[in-house]
Amino acid sequence: MNSSFNKLLTFKILIFVLMISVFCTNLLFIEEVDALSDSKQLVLDAWTLVNEGFYDPEKFDEIQWKRIRQKTLQKQIETSEEAYSAIEDMLRPLEDPFTRVLRPKDYELLKSSNFGSEINGVGLQLGEDEDSNKIKVVSTLGGSPAEEAGIKSGSLIEKVDGISSEELGLANTASKLRGESGTKVLVQISSESGELKEVDLERRSVDLRPVRTKRLRDDSHTIGYLRITQFSESVPKKVEEALQELKEKEVEGLILDLRNNSGGLVSSGIAVADSLLSESPVVETKDRNGIKDAIISQKEMSFDGPMVTLVNKGTASASEILAGSLQDNGRSILMGEQTYGKGLIQSLKSLGEDSGIAITVASYITPNGNNIQGQGMTPDKILDLPDASEYGSAEDKWVKNAELFLESVLEKEEVSNQTIESSNEEI
């Protein structure tokens, strides 16, 4: 009896001790979570922002997203740099190069390119090549060291200062190319034909000049030329001013040049479409809930004459939204090359210590339902011509082709108007 009672008592005591141990362990874990270091808090903040905003939540189940958070927070993360590296590792399974952490320098440079008028660097807009996972040149900025060195859209960045771009990844490759004016960076490039070359580029302040315009005249017609190099915050207002100036010069048609425009603020691209369309669908967006929101332009147009829009393989993102809306609504024909094919929208969020994170929050499709992501847009008229050394110059054959097309459209309109006038006279 006593033996059985003692065994039962011992068992109860053992259970009680185990319960206390588990309870204490949980308390320690709670205290540990509550007392996260600043560096680990940075990681947790990044995870939370992505968890709340990423456009494809089904991916979370596929990669065990919560498990990734747990494993990441178990690592030794004591500095900001260790936190940024941990976030990069955490984001990698999402397989979305556009969802990325931005260290303070990169975050500040990205904000300045969206809201400012100049940046320091070599003037390359980069993306990730889906086939090779290497870093690809989307476009070069006009007047930049990269353009002067002859680097073309579609080329691959093999190495930066001897380090492979595959090892660096998109964000770090872009970061290494930026820097103080006067410093140099050695870049190994492979062309689309496979030719390898090394280019020593000197960083400098690159004037973005996002909107450029001029008037083209011949014996019978006056045509406006409007080039947009990127979509920063100031662009919609600058475009309105440029269109007003061209109207005052009595231009009859418009050439919109979006070559090597790799995007920028989607809202700015939509605002420019609003200036060129009347009560027409601009774009549809699809967020994580699968909701498609159609954006419709206002009634008033800033210019209603015939248009040609020039695009090439460096035309991407917000510029594809604009070009797609103009093409699908029959407002402008597209001339040039197949565009880049970036149909994902990123939201820029702040993290601690002036760093940030870019998160893909939605995809977009054109008014006719075309999905641009990974496919790009096909021009109405393909131009198999070499790019000009200076866009919009007298030697620019792409602009000349667009000009000839517009002249033929204007001449047909004149003949049609004359026919109507003659019919009215007969009546």
Which residues are identified as catalytic? 317, 328, 342
Strand order in the sheet with 307-311: 211-217, 222-228, 253-257, 307-311, 333-336, 381-382
In 10 A of CB 334, how many CB atoms? 24
> In angstroms, rounded to a whole number, what is the distance separating the alpha carbons of residues 341 and 57?
22
CB contact at 8 A, 258 and 286: no
> In angstroms, rounded to a whole number, what is the distance separating the alpha carbons of residues 82 and 43?
10
> In angstroms, rounded to a whole number, what is the distance separating the alpha carbons of residues 186 and 202?
9
Residue 217 is encoded by which pair of tokens? 């005249």
> In angstroms, rounded to a whole number, what is the distance separating the alpha carbons of residues 6 and 28?
33
The three-point CA angle 241-275-263 to 5° equals 90
Residue 397 is encoded by which pair of tokens? 């054959």
> In angstroms, rounded to a whole number, what is the distance separating the alpha carbons of residues 304 and 254?
9
